[in-house]
Amino acid sequence: MAWLKTLAETYDVYEDLAGIEKNNQAVLLPISHSTFNAQIEVTIDQDGIFQNARKLDKGKDVVTIIPVTEDSAARSSGIAPHPLCDKLCYIAGDYTKYTGDCKEKYYEAYMEQLREWVESEYTHPMIQAVYQYLNQKSLIRDLTASKVLELDHDGKLTDHEKIQGLGQTGVSVRFKVLGSSMPQEVWKNQELYKNYNKHYMQKTGGKKLCYASGMIEPCSDKHPAKIRHSGDKAKLISGNDESGFTYRGRFTTKEQAAAVGYYTSQKAHNALRWLIQKQGYTRDNSAIVCWMVNRDMQVPDMMKDSINAYGDIEDFDFDFDKIDTEISSTQKHDTGKYFAEQFHNAINGYTGKIKIDDKIAVIALDAATTGRLSVVYYDEMGGRQYVDAILQWQQHCKWRRSVKVGRAEENRKRITCECTPAPRDMALAAFGVQRSEWLDADEKLLRATVNRLLPCITQRGIRIPTDIIRAAARRASMPQTMNDFVWYNDVLCVVCAMIRFNYEQGGKRMEKFLSDNVNDRSVLFGRLLAVYDYMEQRAMFEYDDNGKVKDRRTTNAKRYWNAYSSRPARTSKTIRQNLIAYERKLKEYEQRKFEEWTSEIMTHLAGNGFDNSALSEMYLPGYYQQMEYMKKAFYKKEEQESEN
């Protein structure tokens, strides 16, 4: 119940924003309100006289805030009218005449409910006008006269004509009242929201103890859906004790299991829906959102890499859209240094704004079926605790790789720097296969993997699960199944970041472990593999007329990579034998350097297990370190030659 209480507290903080649409951003719904997509907009005057009507095209403008009851918000069958805007069968008194489908009971239930509101102390001129108009039972006649709806040759509505893909008999209608208080749209009127809420709460039943808030308040057994998006039918709280159940447990009624207050439920669900739409991560059936509970301040997005995690924070003092990509030739192998320094300064400035008493919450949702939504992860912590955990994650789970950065999609630029991969990138590195240009995998597996990574991000001291790292290491050991960029940037660099995170949890440093005097056999074999791989790459370098390296075939090192990781001593001899022909193509200084590196590594290996026992995943950082070292060494040599 903690997540319900926290979400209700969040709603109280932002309640002034309820119902206000700003810059096409997500709208926090008022209590006792929901949304639907309207297909028709009817305009009347304050005396209830029809003025005009229009069809609404698909788009964001069709999403309409409407007052609802508990029954109408949860309706699937039966008669349960919305209080104001609704489907044609509820609000059109001439529906039966123009369709032949007897729906008088729907219309009568709607009008009776609206009449109660009109006659209450919380009435409003806008609903009085709507009531007067609909009481004339002329809605469909007016819509056909305005060419909004069309009749067939028998004078009946035909579903062959579609509005937003819906047949005419199933459309929903909203109202606009001219000459009334501003705004004229009933779905945007703040006073109307408040009046309906007061009217509806007057009708609620007896009060009980709310298990979430601990307060005595009217309780509800029908809770909202539409949590992840407007078409979402899955519910977080549901009690079905009448049909379709599989297990009753020890309770005889659903009320004995739990009781949640109507206000608490409305606040929590509305806040969660708003947070997901505004700043949540949604993918397939899952949704993850992190937010500051007690005040309006954006927090780093844990579902993005460590650079873009801060991109949506408005007061983060860093201009993502003016990153200089014109790197001078002397900086080509250090393009991320200046960026990293500036970005680090911006992070320090941002974290200084976090207060000790700030409260941050994280929730992850997933749906196993279309009707049920579950909380698969929830945590709440102090602001400083969260920031410290995020910074530790970003400091230790990082590796140098290419990423796109920028707030606006059209301004995003690719740079190379040390950064923490996004959790989804880690899941793809472990279980993805290359389809087209990028990695892809089963969404259920990716969601489950991302959910398992969340505690590693939000709680200090929790390591990345070993099976995920091993799966990523196996994928990195099959470079021939991917193109070079995807394998190197999206798999090798990502698994190296994960290995680093787990290694540094004990207070050790990966840089020291990978230093030249290391004697770890897996790292040494990884370095040796890099020497063999780069030696063949250098021998095969061919340039086109534009000075770019031509496509070249897979090296022997990559062809034998998987076997090398299982039987390194034997496989290394095979690779070395196959490289003899390529050595002749190398320049003299290249031959000398490769021989020097090979001899150095073999000397270390001679006393540290030059055998066929399988390598640990630590050979991958060893490979990467040696490869980058050699590239920089040759670049420096070639730069000196060009200057002379």
Model confidence pLDDT, tens digit, residues 364-402: 999 878 888 999 999 999 988 988 899 899 999 999 998
Both 313 and 437 in one domain: the answer is yes
Answer yes or no: is pLDDT of 332 > 60.
no
Split at pLDDT 50, 70, 90, the class of 31 is: very high
Both 450 and 593 in one domain: the answer is no
pLDDT the model gives residue 331: 46
The answer to whether residue 419 sits within a structural domain is yes
Both 503 and 625 in one domain: the answer is no
Identify the domain boundary among 510, 543, 574.
510
Kindly state the tokens that stand for 487: 């394998």
Both 287 and 263 in one domain: the answer is no
Identify the domain boundary among 453, 479, 510.
510
The answer to whether residue 112 sits within a structural domain is yes
Domains in the chain, number: 4
pLDDT the model gives residue 248: 61
The answer to whether residue 621 sits within a structural domain is yes
Which tops the pLDDT comparison, 207 or 448? 448
The answer to whether residue 116 sits within a structural domain is yes
In whole numbers, what is the pLDDT of the chain averaged over residues? 87
Answer yes or no: is pLDDT of 324 > 80.
no
Both 394 and 294 in one domain: the answer is yes
Both 499 and 521 in one domain: the answer is no
DSSP character at residue 202: T
The answer to whether residue 261 sits within a structural domain is yes
Domain that holds residue 561: 514-644
| Backbone torsion region of residue 543, taken as left when φ is above 0, otherwise alpha when ψ lies between -120 and 50, otherwise beta | beta
Answer yes or no: is pLDDT of 198 > 70.
yes
**Is the CB of residue 69 less than 8 Å from the CB of residue 199?**
no
Q: What is the pTM of this model?
A: 0.86
Distance (Å) of CA 138 to CA 96, 127, 143, 144: 12, 17, 9, 10
Both 11 and 115 in one domain: the answer is no
Both 13 and 41 in one domain: the answer is no
**Is the CB of residue 376 less than 8 Å from the CB of residue 363?**
no
The answer to whether residue 275 sits within a structural domain is no
**Is the CB of residue 164 less than 8 Å from the CB of residue 43?**
no
Both 237 and 340 in one domain: the answer is no
The answer to whether residue 518 sits within a structural domain is yes
Identify the domain boundary among 510, 544, 566.
510
Both 481 and 521 in one domain: the answer is no
Which tops the pLDDT comparison, 577 or 515? 577
Answer yes or no: is pLDDT of 323 > 60.
no
Both 154 and 62 in one domain: the answer is yes
The answer to whether residue 538 sits within a structural domain is yes
Both 173 and 40 in one domain: the answer is yes
121 Cβ contact list (under 8 Å, min separation 6): none
Q: What are phi and psi of 107, to 5 degrees?
A: -65, -45
Distance (Å) of CA 399 to CA 140, 455, 587: 64, 20, 32
Which tops the pLDDT comparison, 83 or 316? 83
